[in-house]
Structure 1
Amino acid sequence: MPGTYPFNDNAVGNRLFLQRIVAAFFVITLLSAALIVRLIYLQVVGHEHYASLAKENSVKIMPLVPTRGIIYDRNGKVLADNTPSYSLDLIPEQISDMDDTLQRLQKLLDIPPDKIDLFEKQRKRQKRFTSSSLLLNMSDDELAKFAVVRPYFPGVDIRTHLVRHYPYGDLAAHVIGYVGRINEAEMKDLPLAEYRGSTHIGKLGIESSYEQILHGKTGYAEIETNVQARSLNTLSENNPEPGANLHLTLDIDLQKTAFDALEGYNGAVVAIDIKTGGVLVFASRPGFDPNPFVVGISNDAYKALSQSDDQPLYNRALRGLYPPGSTIKPFIALAGLEYEAISAPQKLFCPGSYQIPGTTHKYRDWRKGGHGSVNMNQAITQSCDVYFYRLAGLLGIDRMHAFLQQFGFGEKTGIDLSGEKSGLVPSRQWKQEHKNRDWALGETLITGIGQGFLQVTPLQLARATATLANRGNTVMPFLVDKIVSPNGTQAPPRPARQTIPLHSANIDSVIEGMVNVVHSDRGTAKSIGWGIPYQIAGKTGTAQVFNIKQNAKYNENAIDFKLRDHALFIAFAPVDDPQIAVAVVAENGGHGGSIAAPMAAKVIKQYLHHLKAAHEN
């Protein structure tokens, strides 16, 4: 009925409508106030923060990778540089069917599967609009093949990069090393800011030991981008600082002479400048070509290197451990004089073998009939084993151990390369700890001729020889002579030299015997002493690879080549003003005098000839 419903009442309706208007007004006012507060916060309080975020959304910081430093030899010849190289790059965003594209490229350019796998791993770690390299260091044939069909491969192009190059290949691979792609484990240990954008790092040799210096400092560019993060414009640049150039003490021509001299034998040649300690030659044979490691060596090629019986990846000059054989005798002789266990004129009788009183075991001399009565000079000259058996017995292992350590045997030389081995000078304590047995007198005797547990590296032999030539002033070997950067030239820090307290007359006696090794009719290396206007002091050595039974006879021609004795030789020259010290190890060479000594002579003669020519000019 009319009038029974409140909605028909005008007063009630107006009141309800007014209430709704007031509520709406308060809601609108409240929301407006919140909006005003928020605007004030955004425009005033949070302006700096949000402006920064907005800039980050529109500006990206892109790393600028520095150019790697160049490595030179002592005469300015380039040992490692950066050369332009062509790569095949793919941009995934521009390729509609990646699998089909990769299959066609693989068929066209004969790309091995391992490179396809490497590309896929790299692609997954990058954004779709960035390019990834499928092939590096493309050959002319590959470039020509792709150039013909380029229009049929959208998103695929050829780009130019700087790639590390080693012009001397295997000649200096062990000392220079190489660079390779950074793996995930290495990236975790590298400073992220400095290596952002870098793809390669030093893996071996100088490249590894001086990585931070060679790498340089990464620069940065501010790049304006769109919402898809694509580059639009470069706003500013902080240029990278190129890596410093390294000038080595190494003489690559002398290195080649040593490397070629080793042909036919695995082994090492190390030569040191006696005056400075700079390493002139650091040859290890067989070597390997480091260049394939830069662009990515194939699995088959790496397997062939790593599983070869000749171990071409092994740095024999730095890590090879060998019994020194008779090359240790000059140091044992000097120990005998310094400890007054014997005098230089004193003679000892050599009947061809030696027996410890009360035993039946014979310690044989290399000459079956013996050398008769010999003094120290004659014993060094003819390399009489019996003389040094008896001298070792007079000295004892404790004094031999202490004396040899002074010349750096049994410890790392500290050369500026990683991975050096320390060798071994045995002692009573060492045998007890490692063999759980007491030291035996017979072990003292064979230590005196460089056999038994005694082990040295070619680098240690060269250093000890240089120290002897330097009359007890220790020689600290190093490879990097100077570092040249945009900020100037500097020399790496050198450890302080030490002096071994030795009597001059004793040194003269030992060196006289070493001179006779080369320049006397009965010297074991007399073949290298003819026709030179200076004197060489040297010592031959022959180190057994396996033990010969007591009554057995060593027949070189009847045993496997790998079981033949190692040939060793140490030398320095000229005797009156020593300039160069050399150590040679020719594995399974048999005789130090006929095999190793001529190798050392080639290095010495070439170096002194060039040194003389330089002085005359």
Structure 2
Amino acid sequence: MPHEDRRNFSIRLTIFKAAVILVFSAQAVAFWWFQVARHEEFAARADANHLRTISLRAPRGPLLDRDGQVMVQNQQIYIISILREQTDDVDATLERLAGITGADLAAMKEAVRRRLRDPIYRPIPVIENATKVQVVRVKARQIELPAVLVQEVPTRLYPDNRLAAHLFGYVGEVNEAQLARPEFATLSPGDIVGQSGIELALNSLLMGRDGARYVVVDSRGREIYLEGEQAPVDGQPIKLTIDLDMQKALEEAFHFYKFTGAAAFLDPATGDVLAMTSLP
């Protein structure tokens, strides 16, 4: 190889080596900058952002009469809850929430007191069936209320005139005594179950399976992005032997004639209960 070519090759090799050294040096500096110099900053960001699991209540199955007419169904309402993990002062948060919404402060404190043994990450409802005005006010001040959660959830809608109230029964939050029973062993405080009547007797069928939303939130409780979602599964619709029109006629007759006592209409061919009532 001619002397001039060897010289040019040596120069190019030196430049190449210098470039490689420069690239690796830059990578080393960048590594040091992000992993050492700014370690505490990025660690704080990682700690500040965390995953929040928001339960999605499953609608209960509707109750239908023998012809498929809906007697008991669901409606959507707003619930305003407190996230204790997002506040160092629950009382101060409740006081601010009461001032914004006009809700009863004592009632909200009592709602929290009843659920103090719940896991700290589980929302505690403090305003049930919130009005649209209350919801708008809270959402408008959400930055000031990182520990407050607004949810739209399904709840039971019964006939306005309390038709067959003794038959349908009602639902409510599962209580401690129920949680100790095998049929409620998989439930958690705050879950909604049947408390009497058909709602209780057929609770396992009427209850659906709750879903969940998984969202990443920052240190102020603001949602950054949705990590995932598991849709709730609706409860089963239940068709009863009751005839809605006959049930209405029976109860109207009792009220009109001011009867007291009990009565039932049966299908003589099958023994099906077509209507039943009891007053008072």
Q: 2:156 aligns with which of 149, 164, 180?
A: 164
1:272 to 225, 250, 266: 266
1:359-407 CA-to-partner distances (Å, cap 9, x unmatched) read: xxxxxxxxxxxxxxxxxxxxxxxxxxxxxxxxxxxxxxxxxxxxxxxxx
What amino acid maps onto 2:249 in structure 1? T
- Pair 105,169 (structure 1): closer, same or farther in 2 beyond 3 Å: farther
What code does the residue aligned with 1:274 have?
Answer: P
Indicate how the Cα distance of structure 1 residues 188 and 86 shifts in structure 2: closer, same or farther if over 3 A, else same: same
Quick one: distance in 2 between partners of 1:98 and 1:198?
19
CA deviation after TM superposition for structure 1 residue 150, in Å: 5.2
Taking the aligned partners of 2:66 and 2:56, their CA distance within structure 1 comes to 31
Could you list the per-position Cα deviations for residues 180-220 of structure 1 after superposition, in whole angstroms to 9, with x for gaps in the alignment? Answer: 10011111114567435871111111111111111245678
C-alpha deviation, 1:174, in angstroms: 0.5
The TM-score with structure 1 as length reference comes to 0.32
Q: How many Å separate the matches in 2 of 1:191 and 1:273? A: 33
Counterpart residue number, 2:17: none
Matched, 1:119 2:103: no
The normalised TM-score by structure 2 is: 0.64
Which of the residues 163, 167, 178 maps onto 1:175? Answer: 167
Query: CA–CA distance in 2 between the matches of 1:198 and 1:133?
Result: 9
RMSD: 3.8
Q: Which has the larger radius of gyration?
A: 1
Uncovered stretches (5+) of structure 1, i.e. residues with no partner: 1-57, 287-617
**CA shift for structure 1 position 83:** 1.4
Q: Aligned partner of 1:111: which letter?
A: D
Residue of structure 2 in register with 1:543 after alignment: none
Distance 1:217 1:141, change over 3 A: closer
1:139 to 109, 122, 131: 131
CA distance in 2, matches of 1:112, 1:260: 41
| 1:92 and 2:84 aligned | yes
Instruction: Summarize the Cα distance change of 1:140–1:158 in structure 2 as closer, same or farther, 3 Å threshold.
Output: same
The structural deviation recorded for 1:285 is 2.8
8 Å CA contact retained: 1:109, 1:145:
no
Deviations 1:27-54 (A, max 9, x none): xxxxxxxxxxxxxxxxxxxxxxxxxxxx
In the alignment, which of 76, 81, 95 is matched to residue 73 of structure 2? 81
Shift of 1:170: 1.5
Instruction: State the secondary structure of the residue aligned to 1:186.
Output: helix
Task: Tell me what 2:278 maps to.
Answer: 284
The correspondence of residues 353-364 of structure 1 with structure 2, limited to 5 A, is none
Q: Which of residues 40, 61, 67 in structure 2 aligns to 1:69?
A: 61
Tell me the equivalent position of 1:246: 238
Q: 1:125 to 1:110 in 2, by over 3 A?
A: same
User: How is 1:174-573 mapped onto 2 (pairs within 5 angstroms)?
Assistant: 174-191=166-183, 194-196=186-188, 199-217=191-209, 233-234=227-228, 241-263=233-255, 264-286=258-280
Instruction: Judge conservation of contact 2:95–2:105 (CA < 8 Å) in 1.
Output: no
Q: How many residues get paired?
A: 223
Contact 1:79 1:176 in 2 (8 A): no
Report the alpha carbon displacement of residue 67 of structure 1 after superposing the two structures with TM.
3.3
Quick one: structure 1 residues 259 and 191, their matched pair in 2 at CA, closer, same or farther if it must change by over 3 Å? Answer: closer
Distance (Å, rounded) in 1 between the aligned partners of 2:251 and 2:74: 25
Same amino acid, percent of matched pairs? 27
**3-state SS in 2 of match to 1:262:** helix
Cα distance between partner residues in 1 of 2:56 and 2:188: 8
| AA in 2 matched with 1:91 | L
- Once the two structures are superposed, residues 540-570 of structure 1 have per-residue CA deviations (whole angstroms, 9 ceiling, x without a partner) of xxxxxxxxxxxxxxxxxxxxxxxxxxxxxxx
User: Displacement of 1:74 after TM fit?
Assistant: 1.9
1:194–1:154 Cα change, 3 Å: closer
**Aligned 8 A contact 1:171 1:283 in 2:** no
Amino acid at match of 1:279: V
Could you tell me which residue of structure 2 aligns to residue 494 of structure 1? none
Amino acid at match of 2:244: I
Q: Gaps spanning 5+ residues in structure 2: where?
A: 1-49
Distance in 2 of aligned mates of 1:233 and 1:144: 26
Partner of 2:145: 153
Q: Aligned equivalents of 1:132 and 1:255: distance in 2?
A: 38
Deviation at 1:98, TM superposition (A): 2.1
- After TM superposition, give the deviation of residue 179 of structure 1 in Å: 0.8
